[in-house]
Structure 1
């Protein structure tokens, strides 16, 4: 991903902040940064083609209030990285809200220098990782298949399984989704049983969304899951 490139005046504003002694997450709301924040959103919306970095839903809305600027390392834990270009992207409001200030670093301690390697993060980093290497989008916003521990951590931290919670709030909740979800969560075996329930749930959802996915893709997904 190409980083945001700040104008001379924007860079000066950021430099003044970065050289200040007292930095706080609340500084983000200071009006002095309004133009900087607009540049960040405008750049990453275009760079990401109006697609959320984590759930991969495409939202063709140019209005900035429909999107959130994501500080990958939260500004509450590391306010010094608040304007670092590689710590920025845009996300849908749901992903940003779900992630909040959750820890994303492999070694969660105060850093003086910005960690600019993939290995420093437990999640898929939009600047340092290739998303498809870690997480497969089957139905954006609804169904994902994780391939690596990074993919699974991203799914959990950004709540990419939140469609299950939505299913519980509908007037006609899917009883199989609820059954499999509860079976996975109450499983005493953190690896074996949980994984088997998770695979069964993915198979069920692939069938449920067969019209949207197409019959052949649904079959291919189920075959692949059974080989896992």
Structure 2
């Protein structure tokens, strides 16, 4: 869980305040791409990389670098659909590009179209880095991710966290293929005896969420 949220000061605050002053219908997520925000976005990224201990907010893997090219600023609630949350500190985090791309514009709010930012974990379908402890929802051992809760299952599915096990065993098909279980078992036999049950649990649970 992220224990701090970015704060804005000086020139950054001026840019944020100018956007917040716009009528809601005039706000666009495209504003994030404006050249004027380059330095601000860099500071946001640096803040969350440090606050997260260089771990992606979705896969929880340590990136091993603070180089900005290895990170994306993540809008947990999609900025294209909810532009009014563009600079909401609790809507921001640092994600690896693969998780960010996989999640894309997926709806993560349980109640769509909210005008005010939710204040608790219960309002989100995804494991929220500001409200949730990752390990409360997902068991993670090396390349295997096991959902503990529906929210954990949604996050594994949405961010395609099975990709790590698929890559590790060089699996060419879908992880839902029943042969995937046997391959993972063979790969992890000496390290993780529960691998078969883990992957079977994931395959059974990770159907398309509502």
TM-score (norm 2): 0.83
* Matched residue SS, 2:176: helix
Distance of aligned partners of 1:152 and 1:11 in 2 relative to their CA distance in 1, 3 Å threshold: same
1:29 correspondence with 2:33: yes
Gaps of 5+ in 2: 202-210
Contact 1:6 1:39 in 2 (8 A): no
Native 8 Å contact 1:123 1:151 kept in 2: yes
CA distance in 1 between counterparts of 2:135 and 2:96 reads: 19
Larger C-alpha radius of gyration, 1 or 2? 1
For 1:181, the equivalent position in structure 2 comes to: 176
8 Å contact kept, 2:165–2:184: no
> Using the alignment, how far apart are the partners of 1:180 and 1:124 within structure 2?
21
Instruction: Work out whether residues 144 and 165 of structure 2, in 8 Å CA contact, stay in contact via their aligned partners in 1.
Output: no
CA distance in 2, matches of 1:59, 1:206: 26
Question: Which residue of the partner structure matches residue 50 of structure 2?
Answer: 46
Cα distance 1:28–1:152, how it changes in 2: closer, same or farther (>3 A)? same
The alpha-carbon deviation at position 12 of structure 1 amounts to 2.0
Higher relative contact order (CA 8 A, sep 6+): 2
184, 189, 195: which is aligned to 1:205? 184
Q: Which residue in the other structure is 1:11 paired with?
A: 13
Residue from 103, 118, 122 that aligns with 2:121:
118
Are 2:70 and 2:96, in contact at CA under 8 Å, matched by a contact in 1? yes
2:67 to 63, 67, 76: 63
* Residue 22 (structure 2) aligned to one of 20, 44, 51: 20
Cα distance in 2, alignment partners of residues 152 and 179 from structure 1: 17
- Alignment partner of 1:181: what SS? coil
Q: Distance in 2 between matches of 1:151 and 1:143?
A: 13
| CA shift for structure 1 position 204 | 5.2
Which stretches in structure 1 are left out of the alignment for 5+ residues? 184-196
Measure how far apart 1:158 and its partner are.
Answer: 0.8
Match of 1:159 in 2: 160
Match of 1:186 in 2: none
1: distance between equivalents of 2:95 and 2:174? Answer: 31
Change (3 A) 1:180 1:26: closer
> Whose helix proportion is higher, 1 or 2?
1
Query: CA RMSD of the aligned region, Å?
Result: 2.6
CA contact (8 A) 2:44 2:73 kept: yes
Q: Is the 8 A contact 2:137 2:151 kept in 1?
A: yes
Closer/same/farther in 2, CA of residues 179 and 33 from structure 1, 3 Å limit: closer
Check the 8 A contact 2:108/2:126 in 1, yes or no. Answer: yes
CA distance in 2 between counterparts of 1:11 and 1:56 reads: 30
Question: Are the counterparts in 1 of residues 71 and 94 from structure 2 also a CA contact under 8 Å?
Answer: yes
**What is the CA distance between 1:85 and its match in structure 2?**
0.5
1:61 shift after superposition? 2.0
